[in-house]
Amino acid sequence: MDYIKRIRELREDNDYTQREVAVLLNVGQRTYADYEYGKTRIPLESMIKLAKFYKVDMNYICGVSDVRVPFPNNKGK
């Protein structure tokens, strides 16, 4: 599973609309929809925001792993 499917799955599993996630990323709903449809590549900064928002590791959100490990918390380092 690649990140295109994974970001949609995470959004739907958490009952968010595309519009709500777009607001989080400071993009329009159409732009976010293009991320989910693979028409536009999602910027790395946005992928990191999504990983933090959904509390999942970048390997999971990118589709490298199927294990939902929490996003690392490096506070204090």
**Each residue's pLDDT tens digit, 24-45:** 999 999 999 999 999 999 999 9
From residue 68, how far is each of 3, 23, 38, 41, 57 by CA, in Å? 14, 24, 22, 23, 7
Domain of 27 in residue numbering reads as 2-62
Q: Residue 31 domain-assigned?
A: yes
What is the reported pTM?
Answer: 0.84
CB count within 10 Å of CB 2 equals: 10
Q: Residue 67 domain-assigned?
A: no
- Mapped onto helix, strand or coil, the DSSP state of residue 2 is coil
Q: Residue 11 domain-assigned?
A: yes
Domain count of the fold of the chain? 1
Q: What is the CATH number of the domain that holds 58?
A: 1.10.260.40
More confident residue, 25 or 77: 25
